[in-house]
A and B are shown apart, each in its own frame.
Chain A
Amino acid sequence: MRDRALGMIEVVVATAIVSVLLVAALQTLAAVQTSTWRAADYRAGRLRAGELLARIAELRYADPQTPTAALGPDAGETPATYDDVDDYAGYEDAPAANGGSPPPAWRTSVQVVWVSATALNGAAAASDTGLKRITVTTERRGVRVAQAVAIRSSVP
């Protein structure tokens, strides 16, 4: 008995150390994985928002046929025929709208409002100020992951 390789105390201490270590390692692994997922979501969300914002920014400030119309798509217009910035007001890239792509977990929405030249982040103006603020927001499973904001002016 006195010639045993390890005593009970040694075994307990070693097991405790290994256990603590294992827990810490698992927590670290979880944190690493979470951080990786967050970065991936962030990248994907920003990419979606940026792509849509770039597409919107290429359009005219106002509809050539009805330049004084209210914000939003004109009658009969679809995303494929949107021809000015504010046609995208209220747009949602919902799965039902485009056959499940992007994946259901993703949702991209657009807000277009008139804003004052002195407060770009301010409340929406009631009438045309010559400036439109375009906000594209990307959410994943209901959580906002990215947002891109741009200003478009009426100057041709």
Chain B
Amino acid sequence: MSTRAARCENRDRRRAGVYVAVLSISMFVLVAGVGALLAAQANLARTVAVDDALDAQVAAASGIELGRLLIQNDPNWRTTFTSGVWRSGLALGEGSVTISGIDPNDGDLDNRPHDRLVLRATGRKGAAQHAAEVELVAAATPLDALKYGLHTAGQLHVRSGQRLAVRGAAASTDGALRNDNVIFGDVIAASVTASGLFSGSLTTSATVEPFPTIDTAELYAALGTAISPGKTMASVSLSPQSNPYGSPDPDGVYVIRQDTDLTIEGVALSGTLIVISPGRKISVKSTVSLDPARTDYPVLVIVGNVEFLSGGVAVPKAGATLGVRGLVHVRGTVKFSADPQVTGIMLVESTAATDAVDVSADVSIKYDAALFRNPPQGYAKSVEMKLQPASWRRVFE
């Protein structure tokens, strides 16, 4: 009996052992199989993810290409677009691209025609995202009028007994030249009523040199700080740090908008002065010291008729360079009753057939070619946005 019981027990143990062995092998194979399958799927997913990342990168590069084309094709792109997203989720292949344009200076694309632009494109595919950006800088083609030391749309009149000297470039008029005495330098004129004496050449040309097509006075007025000096602005110092009429403007742009005549004397300006007084007389009395604070801004933009006179009060700023340096743009007539000692360029928009520029003193203008090479904002006939070398970079959003 005991022998039989022992045999039964042995048999049961063997059966259980077989089951356990089969189940163990089953579990092992199952776990190994599922593990291998999961590993293979993860491998495939990783491959797809890498592929998506590459496609997102290509989409971002394509977005930069598209952004640059949008700028090139639209001369008014600064008003068409605002600083921010220009195109969102534009489908490309199996991914998409979003394009943004940002003005890094002040977030306003439209306020200055030469502002830099940061162009950013974000490519997406699946879960992958790649953002890249480049910087575009303005390459301005200057107005042809900036080739001259003095240029006017109307008559250039050098009165008897007076002299005009323009050094470094010619004087030019789209109207008539009336030279009743002497001009030192070259002159280009549409017509000549009196040629007088010349130290240089006189060329007759009917080519009209255009003035800015945009209202530069309003352009800078929108950027500047309004001041109200009344009828006389005397013995004051204006600069990015100093404004006796209120808060200083960071770029030193000050705007006078009034419907009265104005006398400027004894003024030391390191910045840009905008005077908007159409039809009014703006008297600038020696001595003054006017220098632009920014090389890409003019020094003086006047809507009105200007006369340069002597007999003003002394310049209040010790050590200041006397005279006017930079671009002077007058939308009116100019009369020189004294020499303002301009180093730069004078543009006089008056088309008056008589005395658009009236030289009633010995006047010397020294041309500054830097203003042609890098024209102040608003004084270009076209502005191309060019890729800043080495500005391409990846960004992480």
A69 contacts B by Cβ under 8 Å = no
Contact of B40 among A5, A31, A147, A150 (CB under 8 A): A31
Contact partners of B93 in chain A: CB under 8 A: 121, 135, 147-149
Contact of A149 among B46, B50, B58 (CB under 8 A): B58
Cα distance, A14 to B43, chains bound together (Å)? 35
Which 7 interchain pairs have the tightest Cβ spacing?
A149-B93, A151-B62, A28-B33, A35-B40, A153-B69, A153-B65, A155-B68
Looking at chain B's contact residues, the main secondary structure is helix
A112 contacts B by Cβ under 8 Å = no
> Given contacts A46-B54, A117-B70, are A21 and B26 in contact (CB under 8 A)?
yes
- Residues facing B in A95-142 (CB within 8 A) are 117-121, 130-131, 135
Identify the A interface with B (CB < 8 A).
Answer: 3-7, 10, 14, 17-18, 21, 24-25, 28-29, 31-32, 35-36, 38-39, 42-43, 46, 50, 53, 57, 117-121, 130-131, 135, 146-155
Task: Give the total of B residues in contact with A, Cβ under 8 Å.
Answer: 47
Query: Are A25's CB and B33's CB within 8 A?
Result: yes
Query: Are A14's CB and B26's CB within 8 A?
Result: no
> Given contacts A151-B66, A153-B68, are A3 and B11 in contact (CB under 8 A)?
yes
> Given contacts A39-B44, A146-B51, A151-B92, are A32 and B37 in contact (CB under 8 A)?
yes
- Residues facing A in B83-124 (CB within 8 A) are 90-94, 97
Contact partners of B61 in chain A: CB under 8 A: 57, 150
Can you list 26 A-B pairs, Cβ within 8 angstroms, ordered by A? A4-B11, A5-B15, A10-B18, A18-B26, A24-B29, A24-B30, A29-B33, A31-B40, A32-B36, A38-B44, A39-B40, A118-B90, A120-B62, A120-B66, A120-B90, A121-B91, A131-B66, A148-B54, A148-B93, A149-B62, A149-B92, A150-B58, A150-B62, A152-B62, A153-B69, A155-B71
Query: Are A117's CB and B37's CB within 8 A?
Result: no
